[in-house]
Chain A
Amino acid sequence: MVRNIVVLGGNSHPALVDSVCATLGLPPCNRILTKFSSGESRLEISDSVRGKDVYIIQTGFGGNGSKLNDHFMDLCIMISACKTGSARRVTAVLPLFPYSRQPDLPYNKAGAPLFKAGSSENGKKDYTFESVPATPAPGIPKSAGLINGADISSKLLKTSLTNGNGSQSPVKQTNGDGTYFAAVNGSGIGSYTTHDYENLSHIGAFSAKPGYKQWVAQAGTLVANLLTCAGADHVITMDLHDPQVQGFFDVPVDNLYGRPLLKRYIQQYIPNYKEAVIISPDAGGAKRATAIADGMGMDFALIHKERRPTKITDRQNASMMLVGNVEGRVCILLDDLADTGNTITRAAKLLKKEGATKIYALLTHGVFSGDAINRIHASAIDKIVVTNSVPQEKHKALLGSKLEILDIAPIFAEAIRRVHHGESISVLFNHD
């Protein structure tokens, strides 16, 4: 039992709120959180928060008939209401941080088509040096070989659905600009998007102005600023996709790790785990995966998203390359987040091809949006293990015994208790 503390839950994950409250031994704060018929959020907090230490739990997950942006606005309204209600301190607890995955170059599962901005009707003809050469303009055809006269929109649509475009990298052909674009493409984890769009058909109708390279807004900083502006004094989250997000805040951010949970699962439930191989499905997650592999004395392998297919006939797998040996071994794919499930299912396919006997996928956040469930069903993954940082009831019903859920409520309850009492929470970081 802890005193002077109020745990206020949003609508995104009621089960986790109850579970955290049960662990802390206090009832969740009474509140009404619905929508007016106009669509505006309606909040009434029934319990006093004056002088209290308020923890607001809301995860960045939309689904099951609720919307992510609604949840986020609700969170901001709750924070603001507690602040104006004279709460001593307001802590936002976001098991999954919304908008934490920064989208990269648009629709660039293949990366390259953006450079062929010249389309038959608006490419070369309209382009003059008077128009806005924003950056080293990719739309400028430097050599005749680049003008392919193809319709950009159909290209974009096609390449966003399939992976890898057959042609050789045009980066080298836009001589002079090559270094710049190579740098953009090579910038770490971002170079391969796992975001899927809900409404693909709209993308086909969109094209940037000739000579301008379109880009996608990154909302991570905005979300951080909005939370601070609403009045959050402290943020607790788990396994941020980009640890840099922590730096977007001026208030303290505690980034908890799901790693100990995953480690314990490996030790307890994977037979002969010392013989298994830990796999990172992309270069960005290599650090995360090696940390676990080192800690447990296991072998490690990495899947590298090779972006230049060597053979046009083998596009699908040419864009992925395994570094390390998995033949005849049990593989444990390790990642922080699975959204559309593209990365891990493709990785699993490659591992099977390379001779893996059994494939586990261990993730902190199992968002499983779009057709992720179907993808996983059809994939070579034998067991997928996630935490309940987002509601998993529906996923469990669909995936059945393939899905294993680890409970993070104790970690968050302990973090809340420690933050409230001013104790160190670094113990939670390196606890194995």
Chain B
Amino acid sequence: MSAEMANEIKLISGRSHPDLSNNIAKRLGIEVARTISLNYSNQETSFTVGESVRDEDVFIVQSTATGDVNEGLMELLIMISACRTASARRITAVIPNFPYARQDKKDKSRAPISARLVANMLQTAGANHIVTVDLHASQIQGFFSVPVDNLYAEPSFLRYIRENFKPEDCVIVSPDAGGAKRATSIADHLNTAFALIHKERPRPNVVGRMVLVGNVEDKVAILVDDMADTCGTLVKAAAVLKENGAKAVLALVTHGILSGNAIETLNGSVLQALVVTNTVPLGDKVERCPKLKVIDISPTIAEAIRRTHNGESVSYLFTHAPV
């Protein structure tokens, strides 16, 4: 092997989202490394490595499929650990949707801070670097003592809005107070109006009363959030916006987790469209829900991988989406 061939990008894909890995690989002009993850009949995860990772720059792409989060996480940990024992020079875990991101604080007595646990587990397994997209709370980066690159879907969303709507017709709406910052950032970039919905949440996955702050009359209301889980919030928010005179309502969400009855909820809602990125494997949901539109995030991730590998700055990607 020649010297300049050493330390290349090795892209390893978990089972959860092979499409995303393939897109990234295509974008980088490389092949996904020959590995295979399987389950034994006793349900333990097995990971077989079919090519050398010695002294290579390893990127492990693993999203977590809805409903199978722990399975995906365990597989990722085993993959990281295997690469470390196989003498990889650097191991970067590319986790487009960070699991347990919502369990990031001790909001009740004895509540687990599972996001920190996941961070510790990733480091224990041997991850030297983390690449993720739109962390639910950017403070999660502080749970790590290794570098975390938190990429944004925002540039892709901005482009989508500019390509499909006139920004002056739009109002950017945050469906809850926590997402206000994310929404105002988009509104500022587009130079459009901004509104906020205040909600009361009695229990997890249950949505209470909603109040609109701001004016959406005769405008296209664009709800912006980082994740759409059961879609209860989004659909209720859309109804509130419609009641307040919005011309059309659509939602731009980074992580389309879409668990439970999300698809049925969406189909029966006043939402015109739900635009998500493909950080989470969507399976057959696109076929089942005509309102669901998908933006490919792989160019951003691929570019981040390329820049990380070459030691270039990644911050360009915070404001620009690669074409």
Residues of A within 8 A of B (CB): 36-45, 48-49, 61-63, 67-70, 72-74, 76-78, 80-82, 84-85, 98-99, 103, 106, 130-132, 134, 195-199, 202-203, 206-209, 212, 214-219, 221-222, 225-226, 228-230, 339-340, 367, 369-370
**B41 part of interface (Cβ distance < 8 Å):** yes
CB distance from A84 to the nearest CB of B (A): 6
Sorted nearest first, the 5 A-B pairs with minimum C-beta distance are: A217-B82, A370-B41, A208-B50, A81-B112, A62-B43
Judging by beta carbons under 8 Å apart, are B70 and A339 in contact?
no
Q: Quick check: B48 and A217 within 8 Å, CB to CB?
A: yes
A230, B120: Cβ atoms under 8 Å?
Answer: yes
Indicate which residue in A84, A103, A214 contacts B112 across the interface (CB closer than 8 Å). Answer: A84
Interface flags for B80-110 (1: CB within 8 Å of A; 0: not) read 0110010000000000000110110010111
State in angstroms the CA–CA spacing of A165 and B79 once bound together.
31
> Which chain B residues in 281-313 approach chain A with CB under 8 Å?
none
Q: How many residues of B contact A (CB 8 A)?
A: 63
On chain B, the residues within 8 Å of A40 by CB distance are 69-70, 99-100, 102-103, 114
Most A CB atoms within 10 A — which of B44, B48, B82?
Answer: B44
Which residues of the other chain, B, contact A48 by a CB distance below 8 angstroms? 109-110
Residue contact A67 to B44, C-beta cutoff 8 Å: no
Closest to A206 in B: B36
In the complex, are the beta carbons of B47 and A38 less than 8 A apart?
no
- Is B141 in the interface zone, CB < 8 Å from A? no
A103 vs B40: C-alpha distance in the bound complex, in angstroms? 10
Residue in contact with B42 in the complex, picked from A62, A82, A202, A217, CB distance below 8 Å: A62
Q: Which residues of chain B come closer than 8 Å to A218, judged between CB atoms?
A: 82, 85
- Determine the residue in chain A with the shortest Cβ distance to B205: A37
Beta-carbon contact of B43 and A369 below 8 Å: yes
Contact of B44 among A38, A70, A219 (CB under 8 A): A219
Contact B73 A73 (CB under 8 A): yes
Quote the shortest CB–CB distance from B152 to chain A (angstroms).
Answer: 21
Residues of B bordering A, CB below 8 Å: 1-2, 34, 36, 38-52, 54, 64-71, 73-75, 77-79, 81-82, 85, 99-100, 102-103, 106, 108-114, 116-117, 120-121, 123-125, 204-205, 229-230, 257, 259-260
Complex contacts, A80 vs chain B, CB 8 Å: 112-114, 116-117
Interchain CB contact under 8 A, B99 and A226? no
Q: Which one of B45, B48, B54, B125 has the greatest number of beta carbons of chain A within 10 Å?
A: B48
Question: Contact: A73 with B112, CB < 8 Å?
Answer: no
Question: Are A45 and B70 in contact, with the CB atoms below 8 A?
Answer: no
Q: Which of A82, A198, A202, A216 contacts B47 (CB 8 A)?
A: A216
- Please pick, from A45, A67, A221, the residue contacting B71 in the complex, using a CB distance under 8 A: A67
Would A130 and B2 be within 8 Å (CB), given that A67-B70, A226-B124 are in contact?
A: yes
Partner of A197, one of B46, B70, B85, B109: B46
Q: How far is the CB of A31 from chain B (nearest CB, A)?
A: 9
Residues of A within 8 A of B52 (CB): 132, 134, 209, 212
User: From residue A407, how far is it (CB to closest CB) to chain B in Å?
Assistant: 22
User: Given A77-B114, A212-B51: A203 and B42 within 8 A (CB)?
Assistant: no
Contacting residues, chain A, for B85 (C-beta < 8 A): 217-218
Given A38-B257, A80-B117, A225-B124, A340:B41 Cβ within 8 A: yes
Measured CA separation A38–B78 after assembly (Å): 22
Known: A39-B64, A132-B1. A222 touches B38 (CB 8 A): no
C-alpha gap A155/B58 in the complex (Å): 30
Q: With A202-B36, A221-B81 in contact, do A367 and B42 touch (Cβ < 8 Å)?
A: yes
CB distance from A169 to the nearest CB of B (A): 23
Q: Which residues of B contact A45 (CB under 8 A)?
A: 109-110
A47 to chain B, nearest CB (A): 8
Whole-angstrom distance between the alpha carbons of A70 and B69 in the complex? 8
Q: B79–A217 contact, CB under 8 A?
A: yes
Residue of A nearest to B67 (CB): A39
Cβ-neighbour of A219 out of B45, B49, B66, B102 (below 8 A): B45
Could you tell me the distance in whole angstroms from the C-beta of A89 to the nearest C-beta in chain B? 16
Give every chain A residue within 8 A of B75 (Cβ-Cβ): 69
Residue of B nearest to A107 (CB): B48
Tell me the complex Cα distance, A80–B47, Å: 26
| Chain B residue nearest to A79 in the complex (CB) | B117
Min CB–CB distance B170 → chain A (angstroms): 29
B229 touches which one: A38, A43, A225, A367 (CB < 8 A)? A38
Partner of B39, one of A134, A197, A226, A339: A197
Q: Which residues in B have their C-beta under 8 angstroms from that of A76?
A: 117, 121
